[in-house]
Amino acid sequence: MLNVGIIGVTGYTGIELLRLLQSHTHIKVKSVFTASYAGQAIAEVYPHLQHQTSLQGEKLNLDEITQNCDLVFMALPHGHAIELIPPLLAAGKKIIDLGADFRLKNQSDYQHWYQHPAAPETLLQQAVYGLPEKGEKENIKNANLIANPGCYPTASILATLPALKADLIDPDDLVFDAKSGLSGAGRTLSLNTHYCEASENVYPYQIAGAHRHTPEIEQELSLIANKKIIIQFTPHLVPMTRGLLVTSYLKLKKLISKEEIYKIYKEIYHKEPFIRLCDHIPQVKHVKGSNFCDIGIQIDARTQRLIVVSVIDNLIKGAAGQAIQNMNLMYQFPENFGLNSNMVMYP
């Protein structure tokens, strides 16, 4: 039995992680830590977990973690994991960081985008970017530190990877139009996610290359293409709780059929348990509550563009579910353990 701990359990990502782990037969959640609700039963803070967990939130205690846990999930805002991780690694613990502190490999990039000192170079190079379908599974299996990808990068990279690998598209003309539910903004109160502001409203934010997920997408696509890539990325908030949709506009080098492109995507993804290639245009309701990424493709012959629509549940494949998928690979459990029982919730 694998003993795990969660630091930052009472944010939306942390509590979703705890919920999903309840159905994993190979792990036991030993300790959960929260700055906001220390001393309170988790089921009191989140009543939907009544009769599912008796855990109590605790103040952070690294000694307790080193004594009781083999693996630690960190679900903290950026900047908070950097100081916690070195002593845990030194104690022989494995770590999956669901925050942003280890996603960007370049220290100056992190400092520019997050306005916070970056992690030490040695740790950045040690961290493995945890997107299994990108071809990282062997690296994930051997890793001690996983940088769990962001939600927008997950959907954007998975939509683009096969076309980029097959050299079908112009890497200098990549446009991503993204929409996310409000849970992606976190649990902290803000004006933009206030009901009266968000209800019956859709609006872009952090546009013109200002969103922090932009360099993450560029970094990973650049590694795939083996050249520097600059993208156009525009995120929007939409009035739903969870779900994320990315429409990717990719300029084809030459016009080919939808059937040929579908075959290329299938060749790359046919062994991936959480990628579903669709013969229709997917919707966020098709993946809600699951770890699936649904992908649909269309060709616009007039503009010679490949249009790829990818959808995920931002809290699962975009965060907690992907973290569990990475854990399964690290410990050589079946990749879908703890995730297949969470079927799509519809409608």
Q: Which residues are catalytic?
A: 151
Q: Rounded CA gap, 344 and 289, in Å?
A: 5
Indicate the SS3 state at residue 174.
strand
* Amino acid (1-letter code) at residue 121: E
Q: Residue 224 belongs to what H/E stretch?
A: helix 213-225
CA distances in angstroms from 71 to 17, 255, 262, 271, listed in the order given: 13, 48, 38, 27
* Token pair 């975009």: residue: 318
Q: DSSP for 46-115, please give it.
A: SGGGTTT---BEE---HHHHHHH-SEEEE---TTSSTTTHHHHHHTT-EEEE-SSTTT-S-HHHHHHHHS
